[in-house]
Structure 1
């Protein structure tokens, strides 16, 4: 097995177009205007198009942000031995930081950032494909430069990220952090409790999560009313009027 330094270069690396092909067939996608204070989640089709616009060795980073909610430094520092394919979980306990102008692996800044995150099957498959293509060792960091170095945020953002978002027509102020919004909004739309989403995002306080995403779960009030009507209706002898019991 190689050390992870194999693979194509940044500018001239082959860029596969089959793994994340979208149904629309258009390479240029446009994100709708974003509300003030809320960048808006990047739709799955655009996430996949963005991944395809990356040099192949960096595509999985986009999926780690959008499908697992990792921060940029956490995605840069993720190693294969932190991934449990059988349980479908990713352990986040290291990140890449710059010290004395050199990127190094370090622990997250807060205890809340050390966490286990659920890994969807398509992300697990993408990681396996990535590891096999680069012949990574079992404990190798997933994404390194062609020379085997750890990624620097300034290098990645300028040389990899900016050209890719331009290629797919995303706003020029789109950041890697916006991918976390896709993860959070998708999980919440699927009915995942916001407390779980908060933990998976590594937020120190659930207040942060509620401030960012509370507006995405307005149906919670309706569910609470239905539950209370049902519970107290039994005690009051009043027939339940919950929508899910009508018919």
Structure 2
């Protein structure tokens, strides 16, 4: 299965697409079959989650979260573990707002319980700066966050119990619950999947008794989206690796090597021409004399 849509700013790059043939992936192992979105597709997905496409319910908070994931590269458990205190803002008059996301913990829901842990490696505990436009949006979001004055409050809300559908089958937005973290798997199944379908992108699903498994866009592909867009923009892979929290630079190369463009900071052989240096002036040889020295000096 293959779905392609050209990036509005990077149309010349052959990997600027969602490629389900895996032709832009390195290696044959399943975990390397990543399917990054383009910036245009991220915008489409976000718009769909705001309720502006079809009959989908409106979740502006989660629309912002999708953009946040695609432009910060955080893992799902890291995103669930974010608290209000983990965003550091710098605001100065006449200057764009700056924001650094401090990745300090992960949260996973297993067996009905929330498990809080530290990121899986030392390099996973990191600070990720976000773009000024996203910093402005996150600053405005926290200004309206109902628990912004509580440092340990979850950054992203979950939804209250009550289901996704009305009795007659019409979808509606379930009220938000700001006291508990968001279960990322549930978010993918109930919100992101319908939004992907609404914009014509396939979502991943496991095999059932009536249908085979489908490999489509996963939640983790928003992390891949961040990595690919940064590399295609010419950001050095070592910097991208630090932002991703990879344990080694080799892991970043192994996973994303095919997206490092030769013409933009990748493998291009662009060493400068050596400067021209004037040839040295030869030293004249001394004149020969037929006088024989009898005594040394």
Q: For this structure pair, what is the TM-score category when the shorter chain's length is used for normalisation?
A: 0.7 to 0.9
Q: Determine the structure 2 residue equivalent to 1:89.
A: 100
Bigger radius of gyration, 1 or 2? 2
**Match 1:35 to one of 21, 27, 31:** 21
Q: Determine the structure 1 residue equivalent to 2:255.
A: 212
Q: Determine the structure 2 residue equivalent to 1:26.
A: none
Q: Determine the structure 2 residue equivalent to 1:177.
A: 220
Instruction: Give the conservation status (yes or no) of the 8 Å contact 1:77–1:94.
Output: yes
Pair 208,134 (structure 1): closer, same or farther in 2 beyond 3 Å: same
Tell me the distance in 2 between the aligned counterparts of 1:118 and 1:134.
Answer: 21
Instruction: Give the conservation status (yes or no) of the 8 Å contact 1:41–1:182.
Output: yes
Pair 136,51 (structure 1): closer, same or farther in 2 beyond 3 Å: farther
How much does 1:205 deviate? 1.4
Instruction: Give the conservation status (yes or no) of the 8 Å contact 1:103–1:151.
Output: no
Pair 129,104 (structure 1): closer, same or farther in 2 beyond 3 Å: farther
Q: CA RMSD in A?
A: 2.5
Tell me, yes or no, if structure 1 residue 153 matches structure 2 residue 148: no
Deviations 1:176-235 (A, max 9, x none): 11111221122112221100101110111111110121122241332xx322x53xx338
**Match 2:275 to one of 214, 218, 234:** 234
Tell me the distance in 1 between the aligned counterparts of 2:188 and 2:18.
Answer: 22
Q: Determine the structure 2 residue equivalent to 1:188.
A: 231
Tell me, yes or no, if structure 1 residue 45 matches structure 2 residue 40: yes
Instruction: Give the conservation status (yes or no) of the 8 Å contact 2:80–2:108.
Output: no
Pair 64,234 (structure 1): closer, same or farther in 2 beyond 3 Å: same
State the SS of the aligned residue for 1:207: helix
**Match 1:127 to one of 117, 138, 159:** 138
Tell me the distance in 1 between the aligned counterparts of 2:191 and 2:138.
Answer: 19
Pair 107,221 (structure 1): closer, same or farther in 2 beyond 3 Å: closer
Deviations 1:29-49 (A, max 9, x none): xx6543324534211121122
Instruction: Give the conservation status (yes or no) of the 8 Å contact 2:103–2:127.
Output: yes
Query: For residues 69-84 of structure 1, what are the structure 2 equivalents within 5 Å?
Result: 69-84=73-88
Tell me the distance in 1 between the aligned counterparts of 2:127 and 2:64.
Answer: 18
Deviations 1:105-140 (A, max 9, x none): 332122121001111112112212322334332423
Which stretch shows the higher mean deviation, 139-148 or 174-183?
A: 139-148
Residue correspondences, number: 204
Q: Determine the structure 2 residue equivalent to 1:58.
A: 62
Consecutive unaligned residues of structure 2, counting only runs of 5 or more, are 1-7, 9-16, 26-32, 50-58, 91-97, 159-175, 204-215, 279-297
